Structure 1
Amino acid sequence: MSGSIAGVVAYPVTPFGGDKGKVDEGVLRGLVERLVQAGVSAVAPLGSAGESAYLDDQEWAAVASICLEQVDGRVPTVVGVSEVSTAGTIARAKLAERLGASALMMLPVAYWRLTERELRGHFAAVADAVQLPIMAYNNPGTSGIDMTPEFLVDLVAGVDNITMVKESSGDIARMRRIAELGGTGVPFFNGSNRLALQAFDAGAAGWCTAAPCLVPEHIVEVWRLLTVGETASATALFERLEPLLNAIVSGGLPRTIKAGLRSLGIEAGNPRPPLLPVDTDTHCAIAELIASIRG
């Protein structure tokens, strides 16, 4: 399955609504449908943009179930299963597998800094518990754990079911190193918006991004242009998108994506505390950037 995932991997936010801020099923279905209709290559619920760390077990299961049901096999689904404990991650991985996920994404999350031996054991235990391919996700800015290209490539080589890597450190040299060490045997995905074009040039299999929540057709078009060899047009479009891409990352994805959706008339609620909504100036700036792209 990992070989069939390539291109734009879109990350929906988790919408909250009502007085108690419960998961809003109707809005979530609408967000997922919008992504699929726009032509994204895969949908990846329950990543950091989806506020998975702020959901209880029942909410997490509901989001996974809703997204998989709405996608209905039209594109691959990569479900984020990250949890602090190995047991908790295994439980989520098994549930995602039962619900019909195409693949899993694992970000090591820890209160204590994990050694490479502990990381390997964590990934191996989850991989042993399921049959789905797993994307090992490196995002030191979010998790506080930094996995080197050497470790990631060795992890793919040495652990069954760990078949691909998502690199979000923001260092293009790391992606080039993964490509050098792993060749075609280690598909890697770029998780840093500003590096999308450089990452594809370095051999990335795909671009993992929450930006399609706001401008889905434009993000998909960058990938389409690249696949047909229209590099100059892809670069020009990406340059139009770049100010928005930078803005949503710098302000924190759950905050900025939900602000952008609100400007489009899609009410996904506020991010869950302790996260707070963006201020008025930031909201207006994001709205203006989206409007300028959409023309």
Structure 2
Amino acid sequence: MKWFGVMPAMTTPFDSKLAVDHAFLSQHATWLLENGCTGLVMLGSLGEGATLEHTEKIEVLKTAVRASAKKKTPVVAAISSLSTANAVKLAKEAEDVGCEGLMVLPPYVYTSDWREMKQHVATIITATKLPCMLYNNPVAYKTDFLPEQIAELAAEHANLAAVKESSADVRRVAGIREILGDRLEIFVGVDDVLVEAVNIGARGWVAGLVNAFPAESVELFNLTLAGKREEAFELYRWFLPLLRMDTVPKFVQLIKWVQGETGTGSATVRAPRLELHGAELTAAQKALSIALANRPAVKSTTFPALKEA
């Protein structure tokens, strides 16, 4: 498992009856990888994992693993549940179906102290032999894994290999490296701090808008990593109004809407989410229309028409 590069937090496509559209999922995954992505992260917040039944999650992982086989790129399963026992069950089944890594989240709904949260994530990390990435997103999950706590986990678990830092505070990247050096690979988990975080040591990006703009995302990451500051900022400036869609409560609806408008997916979401309307839709339309009218030289390949079954 190589924790590096741009790994999409893949959206989960639904058909008109709100069932998972596996044919589209497979084609979308293939397209993302063909445009330079280095792996796929499935079942996360953007993938609407909380709305998927356990059996649906396993089928999503199977589809992603099959789609990734040609490129020999890893599939990372996001592991979260209301209970530790169910999270462990999902982790073990993810290993069984061929996932090469796990992204370990705190439990849905329940928020507590370090003692309980450590026990929860440690139990998942030790449930398989797969390398794991700890997901820190205090904004969404109300659990904040501090750098010293992450270091404690890293010292006790050899297969904790990476951390997805989504606090939106880029100082956390430096804070983790200050304590741990290069022990863990650090991934950016918030789209609009990508350049800042890579400049202080992040080596990967679990990205959102990549679902619609993979080549542009990969180019931005590579330019930043190579230290090409002016070229990177020129692309970043174009991308920022869209990347900021990843930072608000309706990021799932926004990113899926962008996919629908660009022919790379559908705006369909599962309740309790509802599709965009009113002022929020008008604002999104304005941002996307400006971006599409001023596209950079690097462009993702045209999304292929889905072949009829």
Evaluate the alpha carbon distance shift between residue 269 and residue 26 of structure 1 in structure 2; reply closer, same or farther with a 3 A threshold: farther
Q: Identify the residue that residue 133 of structure 1 maps to in structure 2.
A: 131
1:291 and 2:292 correspond: yes
**Aligned residue number for residue 149 of structure 2:** 151
Return the alpha-carbon distance in structure 1 between the equivalents of residues 212 and 52 of structure 2. Answer: 23
Q: How does 1:211-230 map to 2 (within 5 A)?
A: 211-230=209-228
Query: What displacement does 1:178 show?
Result: 0.4
Q: Which amino acid aligns with 1:38?
A: N
Give the helix-richer structure, 1 or 2.
1
Match of 1:206 among 191, 201, 204: 204
1:32 aligns with 2:29: yes
Deviation of 1:74 (Å): 2.3
Report the Cα distance in structure 1 between the residues aligned to 2:48 and 2:27, rounded to whole angstroms.
18
Q: What is the alpha-carbon distance in structure 2 between the residues aligned to residue 220 and residue 150 of structure 1?
A: 31
- Report the Cα distance in structure 2 between the residues aligned to 1:282 and 1:198, rounded to whole angstroms: 26
Shift of the 198–130 alpha-carbon distance from structure 1 to 2, 3 Å rule, reads: same
Q: Distance in 1 between matches of 2:67 and 2:270?
A: 23
Secondary structure at the aligned position of 1:78 is classed as strand
1:133 maps to a residue whose letter is P
Task: Give 3-state SS (helix, strand or coil) of 2:126's partner.
Answer: helix
Indicate which of 238, 241, 251 corresponds to 1:240.
Answer: 238
Distance in 2, Cα, partners of 1:251 & 1:108: 18
The residue identity in structure 2 corresponding to 1:231 is R
Deviation at 1:49, TM superposition (A): 0.4
For residue 198 of structure 2, what is the amino acid of its counterpart?
F
Task: Give the deviation of 1:68 after TM superposition.
Answer: 1.2
1:260–1:286 contact (8 Å) kept in structure 2 = no
TM-fit CA distance, 1:159: 2.1
Tell me the amino acid that sits aligned with residue 61 of structure 1.
I
Give the superposition deviation at 1:204: 0.6
State the partner residue of 2:110.
112
Deviation of 1:148 (Å): 1.0
Residues 14 and 268 in structure 1, CA contact (< 8 A), matched pair in contact too: no
Aligned to 2:163: 165
* Unpaired stretches in structure 2, ≥5 consecutive residues: 297-309
Specify the SS of the correspondent of 1:194.
helix
Matches within 5 A, 1:1-295: 1=1, 4-18=2-16, 20-72=17-69, 74-250=72-248, 252-279=250-277, 280-294=281-295
Structure 1: gaps (5+ residues) = none
Q: CA RMSD in A?
A: 1.7
Q: Quick check: 115-124 or 180-189, which moved more?
A: 115-124
- Displacement of 1:289: 4.4
**How does the TM-score come out when normalised to structure 2?**
0.89
Contact 1:260 1:290 in 2 (8 A): no
Give deviations 1:98-144, integer Å, cap 9, x for gaps. Answer: 11111100110243322211122112211222000111101111112
Aligned length: 292
Measure, in 1, the Cα distance between the counterparts of 2:186 and 2:294.
Answer: 28
Work out the CA distance in 1 between the residues paired with 2:193 and 2:167: 11
CA drift at 1:266: 3.6
CA contact (8 A) 1:42 1:78 kept: yes
Letter in 1 for 2:6: V
Overall identity of the aligned pairs, in %: 30
* In structure 2, distance between residues paired with 1:68 and 1:286: 34
Q: Which residue identity lines up with residue 54 of structure 2 in the other structure? A: D
